[in-house]
Copies of this chain bind each other. A is one copy, B any other.
């Protein structure tokens, strides 16, 4: 049995989802608050998840030809001001550096909220001819947006992310790259984070400042709210024209490049918590669990128990060639306390081993996702552990998909639409005329936004859910983080 003390310390999801979330990030030791308002410390248990996310995403990027770079964290005000829509979108929420050392700066610098302007400035220098294209770069860095209300991982004044920025010879190639990266994001969410995603296009109201088109992967959290989990933007040649990024084509004429950008952030850790977690704490998909298996000795002071635990660890490491991340909890806490901690931290598998198990030549595997206990012969340890991890990864995706499908509704008119958002929570599929006035009206009345126009369109009705005029798109609507 898991220890009650640790468990009672967290609020239940039903009672107060927001408090449950905060309790989990604190009790699982993912973050700590700081005296720097709106910023957080990402603690070892949290950062190790980010490292696994980075490693996996970075591999996927590089398989598509992405190269990593690093650009300055500062943007001179005059550079930020070059693209009109972009500066309007970001200027209200940037932090400004006005002094360097003891001297006031001649021109103030903002701390990057995103780096389109810097990448344009860079590509302008290094792109001369069609031979220099495409440029397919990415950087892992932190960015700053001066948010008024902040929440760990979901919204903070500084966060970590990757931002990909590409430049292409043609509009077609840019659109292709934009969609390719959206697929990378969607595959990553499903295969690695066990989060099913809706792929689609943002409405003009919701698109990125300066983009021609923004595509998104939207996920549904356990409380029925939506989380934008990654976006991919096609800029056309708008930035290129504003910054003068041109190349000499094969026909010896000067042309503007076509650009894209795409990003995922540490808010993905928030998504993992809110999609998979439960009242015992975090539940990590094995692919991003820094510790996948915790071996917990029972009656560890009895002779041979600890040694047996270490032996089991070593066998798992050896047989998996180090690919299974396994530890022994040999602290002097009680087994019940250790079970609670392992559950709170979301470690996918625990193995219980005590004198009785040893006598019987067996051990007990407990799945964090389902709570299922599996008694296995000691001799099958090496083969069963990777199998169980694989099942957990697969089953967590299925469970998340089932939850999402159960909380996805259709609405043909405003009555149905309202009913869902007043009584339930989830995605609502409903038709839209394409007019921003309807989006504004829906947002004002219900605090609901258009999440995306999904690639997989359905015909819920032939009229806009809001104004009744002929419908142009099916839209996923939701309350969003």
Contact = CB atoms under 8 A, between A and B. Distances in A.
B92 A101 contact: yes
Contacts of A71: 34, 41-42
Interface stretch (A121-129, A179-187, A224-232): A121-129
Contact of A75 (B36, B40, B97, B122): B36
Nearest to A159: B70
Interface stretch (A3-11, A139-147, A466-474): A139-147
Nearest to A34: B72
A335 to B, nearest CB: 18
Nearest to A145: B101
A307 interface: no
A74 to B, nearest CB: 5
B32 A125 contact: yes
Contacts of A111: 73, 97, 111
Interface in A43-64: 43-44, 47-48, 50-51
A35 B76 contact: yes
A73 B112 CA distance: 12
Contacts of A75: 36
A71 B36 CA distance: 10
Contact of A126 (B32, B70, B98): B32
Contact of A51 (B68, B95, B96, B125): B68
Contacts of A360: none
Nearest to A139: B47
A385 interface: no
Contact of A97 (B47, B48, B95): B95
Nearest to A160: B70
Contacts of A33: 125
A101 to B, nearest CB: 4
Contacts of A174: none
Contacts of A99: 95-96, 98
A391 interface: no
B68 A44 contact: yes
Given A122-B34, A141-B142, A47 B72 contact: no
A69 B42 contact: yes
Contacts of A76: 35-36
A206 interface: no
How many copies of this protein are present in the complex?
Answer: 2
A438 to B, nearest CB: 30
A109 interface: yes
A142 B70 CA distance: 10
Interface string A138-163: 00011010100000000001101000
A44 B96 CA distance: 28
A117 B93 CA distance: 26
A94 interface: yes
Contact of A73 (B44, B72, B126, B144): B144
A455 to B, nearest CB: 32
A146 B101 contact: yes
A48 B72 contact: no
A39 interface: yes
A421 B190 CA distance: 63
B121 A34 contact: yes
A67 interface: yes
Contacts of A36: 72, 74-76, 109, 118
B44 A137 contact: yes
Contacts of A422: none
Contact of A44 (B41, B69, B92, B141): B69
A463 to B, nearest CB: 41
Kindly list the 9 A-B residue pairs having the minimum CB-CB distance in the complex, ordered from nearest. Answer: A44-B67, A39-B72, A100-B146, A96-B99, A42-B70, A101-B146, A36-B72, A98-B98, A95-B97
Given A34-B118, A35-B121, 6 more contacts: A32-B122, A36-B76, A43-B126, A47-B68, A74-B158, A96-B99
30 contacts: A32-B122, A32-B125, A34-B71, A34-B72, A34-B118, A35-B79, A36-B74, A36-B118, A39-B74, A41-B69, A41-B70, A41-B72, A42-B71, A44-B137, A47-B67, A47-B70, A48-B67, A51-B68, A73-B73, A73-B111, A73-B144, A73-B158, A93-B101, A94-B101, A95-B97, A95-B101, A95-B109, A96-B100, A97-B111, A111-B111
Interface of A: 32-36, 39-44, 47-48, 50-51, 67-76, 79, 92-102, 109, 111, 118, 121-122, 125-126, 137, 141-142, 144, 146, 157-158, 160
